[in-house]
Amino acid sequence: MQDYSFDKTHIIDIPIEKAMTTENLQVFYGDNHAMHDASLQFSRYRITALIGASGSGKSTYLRCLNRMNDRIATVKGKIMYRDMDINSPKINVYEVRKHISMVFQRPNPFAKSIRENITFALKRNGIKDKTELEERVESSLKAAALWDEVKDELDKSALALSGGQAQRLCIARCVAMKPDILLLDEPASALDPISTAKIEETLQQLRKNYSIIIVTHNMQQASRIADYTAFFHMGHVLEYDRTEKIFTNPQIKATEDYISGNFG
């Protein structure tokens, strides 16, 4: 891998309604400066993909967006959501995560039944009405394209699901909270191609009602599903544009080399 300049970047502003933005976001793990000045705008009701080689900082960046890095890293800069800087210490992180929810790389269903996986957080957030809960279970499982497979065994342990089903359950679990923004951290990297296709289909459906930001190391996946794509390299965002532009006419040498498979 050759050294690329971090000075030359190509980052567009989003002309339409924005879901959230970051301004000069920096992340430190102790003395290690893991993320430098990331300023990105995310569009509402669109899918944005974050691509880059492993260690490029894309997952680190994503985890900042709903403050999941709080306990392990120092995050500086602004994360603007609904005209508020949610990176401020005054912000109630638990409320933030209700609006900006995250699906992780490895499926992590709770050791509870499928139904309880979805209702557990809802109940803790004060939804007690049985019919309302049932309705949320059904609608979220439908939204995650899992309903037809599990509707007869909602009381089965979620740990008995296959990897792909478990990941869709995790998406359903987030959707049931009715968040604004869905963050997905390489949601298909641990899955087989068929499950991956199902997840992608699900995301296309969800796009109608949610703003989605997805980290992926699979460039085909990014080009298939994303409206916008950001390219991360060694803790810097080098390029951000509409997906077709990134993949057909990249402006930065590093992006071009990465998408043509020269490193990564």
Partner 1 sequence: MDEIKQELQSSSRATHQDYFGKALSYLCITFVGLLVLSILYFITTRGLATFTENHVSLWKFLIEKNWNPGVLDSHGQPQIGALPMIVTSFSVTVLSALVATPFALGVALFMTEIAPKRGTKVLQPVIELLVGIPSVVYGFIGLSVIVPLIRHTFGGTGFGILAGVVVLFVMVLPTITSLSIDSIKAVPMYYRSASLALGATRWQTIYKVVLRAATPGIMTAIIFGMARAFGEALAVQMVIGNAVLMPHGLLTPSSTLTSQLTTGIGNTTMGTLPNNALWSLALILLLMSLVFNILVRFIGKRGSLKK
Partner 2 sequence: MNSKTTNNIATGIIYVLVAAVVGILIFLLGYILITGLPHVSWHFLTSAAQSFRAGGGIRDQLFNSLYLLVLTLIISFPIALGSGIYLSEYAPNNWLTGLIRTAIEVLSSLPSVVIGLFGYLLFVIQFRMGFSILAGAIALTFFNLPLLTRSVEESLEDVSDLQREAGLSLGLSHWKTITGIVLPAAVPGILTGIILSAGRVFGEAAALIYTAGQSAPIVNYSNWNPMSTTSFLNPMRPAETLAVHIWKVNTEGVTPDALSISSGTSAVLIIVILLFNLSARLLGNWMYKKMTATK
Measured from the CB atom, the residue of 210 and 228 that comes closer to partner 1 is: 210
Q: Least CB distance from residue 94 to partner 1, whole Å?
A: 4
Q: Least CB distance from residue 102 to partner 2, whole Å?
A: 4
Nearest one of 258, 254, 252, 170 to 222, comparing CA atoms: 258
Among positions 11, 12, 91, 234, the unique one binding partner 1 when judged by CB under 8 A = 91
Burial class (CB in 10 A: 0-12, 13-18, 19+), 128: exposed
Measured from the CB atom, the residue of 12 and 177 that comes closer to partner 2 is: 177
* Contact map string, positions 118 to 147, toward partner 1, x by CB under 8 A: --------x---------------------
Which partner, partner 1, partner 2, none, binds residue 82 by CB below 5 to 8 Å per kind? partner 1
Q: How far is the CA of 154 from the CAs of 46, 141, 158, in angstroms?
A: 31, 10, 9
82 lies in the site for partner 1, by CB under 8 A: yes
Measured from the CB atom, the residue of 121 and 197 that comes closer to partner 2 is: 121
28 lies in the site for partner 2, by CB under 8 A: no
Among positions 115, 168, 173, 233, the unique one binding partner 2 when judged by CB under 8 A = 173
> Which span (12-20, 117-125, 202-210, 238-246) binds partner 2, by CB under 8 A?
117-125
> Which span (38-46, 77-85, 118-126, 198-206) binds partner 2, by CB under 8 A?
118-126
Distance of CA 46 to the CA centre of its chain: 12
Instruction: Return d(Cα 53, Cα 99) in angstroms, integer.
Output: 29
Among positions 5, 24, 74, 125, the unique one binding partner 2 when judged by CB under 8 A = 125
- In one-letter notation, the amino acid at residue 116 is E
106 lies in the site for partner 2, by CB under 8 A: yes
Find tokens 């609608």 and name the residue: 139
Measured from the CB atom, the residue of 90 and 131 that comes closer to partner 1 is: 90
Long-range CB contacts for residues 119-125, cutoff 8 Å, separation at least 24 = 119/176, 121/173, 121/176, 121/177, 122/176, 122/177, 125/98, 125/177
What sign results for the dihedral spanned by CA atoms 130, 124, 190, 113?
Answer: negative
Nearest one of 61, 60, 176 to 115, comparing CA atoms: 176
Which partner, partner 1, partner 2, none, binds residue 44 by CB below 5 to 8 Å per kind? none
Q: Where are the beta strands (DSSP E) in the chain?
A: 10-11, 18-29, 32-43, 47-52, 74-81, 84-85, 100-103, 181-185, 211-215, 228-233, 236-242
Among positions 111, 126, 208, 220, the unique one binding partner 2 when judged by CB under 8 A = 111
Instruction: Return d(Cα 48, Cα 28) in angstroms, integer.
Output: 24
Enumerate binding residues for partner 2 (CB under 8 A): 66, 68, 94-98, 101-104, 106, 108-113, 120-121, 124-125, 155-157, 159-160, 170, 173-174, 177
Enumerate binding residues for partner 1 (CB under 8 A): 82-84, 86, 90-92, 94-96, 99, 126
